[in-house]
Each structure stands twice: as structure tokens, then as C-alpha cells.
Amino acid sequence: MHSEFACDGGPASAVPLERLADDAPLKGWVFRVAQNLAHDQRRRAIPRAAHSLDDSAAATSYINPLTAWALTISTHNLKEGDWLLQTAAASSVGKFVLQLAQQYRFKTINVIRRREQESIIRNLGGNEVICTADEDLRARLQELTAGKGVERAIDCVAGELGAEIARNLAPAGTMLVYGALSSHRQTDPAKFTMPVFAPQLIYRTATVRGWWLPRWVSSKPLAEVRAATSDLLTMLSNGALTPPAIVRYSFKDFQEAVRLADGEAGQQKVLLDFSERAP
């Protein structure tokens, strides 16, 4: 989820407009979204990116920004003043969620695992921070919610942390699980489980639901995906959203690129450059 490559021709990639049509009167970028759901492979043209985006920004302007937007504004339908809890808040998606919170005026409870990440969250306008390295998660959530529990959450860690968030959902609360960082580099099958406390779900009628961007895209009218992407590109172009820092590798150095991409979530995004200009 957080260490994917951005490159021409991937599952969701930005490609120069002139590569798609020789007689295209404008130069810029379009997005190609490839889907493979029930063996149904389709390609859809999403709006052309603003000319002010360079190729690196365009290559990283689809998956993470749209994931953050679709989780918060579309699926959770957050409004001004609503609260959202997110795990891995210093990740790439987490940073976009924080920036979107400033645009849409919702508030955030941000769970991190290292205290040095708090400054990242605060600088991006995060309202509350819980560091699992030195704070009791359950006690802090009870304090922040006045014992009512969390109404809306997004989780990309799963495992024990995801299970603890689920245990602290409010009555009729909903948690969307869009990643499983706790299983990263794991081979033990037990590491791929999330031990949800069943009575909490039953008596609070809470919901823990899986969420995946390709499924969201395929479930929505193309016009809605187009409009969301266009809005995000505008925000990236005018500075309302900041694209992630990137590091670019030529294809001949792909092994080093893979090594870096498999590292810590939230670090620089890795771009593979297939052009003749690549160093």
C-alpha cells in the first residue's frame, strides 16, 4: 500500500497525453486506470492533469490522494466538524488525509508508533495525536471521546492495533480497513489476522469493513471518479495539497529502487524512470 512504484503503465499511472493520441492538440497528462476484477479488464481515461504539475508530481497524484479522498469524503462522508481516527497517520495516505481535513474542515485523531512522528502530524494540522510507544491507546481514546467511542476510523495496520481500534468503536461506528502493515515481511499466518472482539461488534452494532481503491473505483459512476480526480489535481496544482517527496531511479537501478520501496511507510516515493534522460 505504501511502498508502491509510480511508473508508466502500472495499475494506475500518469502518462503523457501525446503518447495516447498522435494528433492531440494539448500536452499534459492523463490517467489510465487498469482494473482486473472478475477478469474484466478495462482502461478508462481520467481527466488531464494541470500543466503546472511536473511528471514526478503527476506520477504520484492518483493512488494516495484518491485513496485519502475516497475513504474520508466519499465512503465516510465526513462533514465539517466530524471526527475521524486514522492509524499510520504519518504514512503517505495519512498525510493526504490531514491535508484534506484542512480543506473540508473535519477533525482528526492520529495514531502513530513513534514520538518523533508527532511533529509531522502537528505541522499538517492534526488535532489529536496518540503515540502507541508511550501512551495507552484505549485510555486515550476513552479520554478523547468522553467514553463514547470512535464513530469513524480508517486503518491500514490491522493486526492487534486494528483490533484495538475496533474494540473502541462507538455504537454504530464504522472502521474501514484499507491495509495491513502489521503483516509486512511476515510469514507467520497468525500475523495476517485481526482478532476482533466479537461482543463489541454485536452489542454496539459496529462495523469493520474492508476497503480497496480498485473496488471503490469500479463501484462508482465514471463521472464521479472523474470529478474527484479533477478536484484533487486542482488542489495539487494550486498548492492546497502537497505531493510526496520523491526519489527517481533509472530502470537499470531497479533493484535498489525495489529495496528502498520496500522500506518504511511514509518515506520518499520511488519513481522508475524509463526515459532516455534517466541518469
Q: Is residue 16 part of a domain?
A: yes
> Are 70 and 16 members of one domain?
no
Instruction: Please tell me the pTM assigned to this model.
Output: 0.83
Residue 45 phi/psi, 5-degree rounding, is -90, 120
Query: Where a domain ends, among 211, 244, 261?
Result: 211
Q: What is the pLDDT of residues 67-105, one digit of tens each?
A: 999 999 999 999 999 999 999 999 999 999 999 999 999
Query: Where a domain ends, among 211, 238, 257?
Result: 211
Q: Is residue 255 part of a domain?
A: yes
Query: Where a domain ends, among 170, 192, 211?
Result: 211
Which CATH number does the domain housing residue 154 bear? 3.40.50.720
Q: Is residue 100 part of a domain?
A: yes
> Are 80 and 203 members of one domain?
yes
Domain that holds residue 131: 65-211
Q: Is residue 278 part of a domain?
A: no
> Are 79 and 103 members of one domain?
yes
> Are 179 and 49 members of one domain?
no
> Are 205 and 219 members of one domain?
no
Q: What is the pLDDT of residues 3-36, one digit of tens each?
A: 344 433 334 444 443 333 444 444 455 555 544 4
Q: How far apart are CA 254 and CA 240, in angstroms?
A: 32
Q: What is the pLDDT of residues 130-139, one digit of tens each?
A: 999 999 999 9
Q: Is residue 17 part of a domain?
A: yes
Burial degree of 126 (CB within 10 A; 0-12, 13-18, 19+): buried
> Are 81 and 199 members of one domain?
yes
Q: How far apart are CA 267 and CA 100, in angstroms?
A: 19
Q: What is the pLDDT of residues 174-212, one digit of tens each?
A: 999 999 998 877 788 877 899 999 998 999 999 999 999
Q: Is residue 6 part of a domain?
A: no
> Are 70 and 201 members of one domain?
yes
Task: Give the count of domains, the chain.
Answer: 2
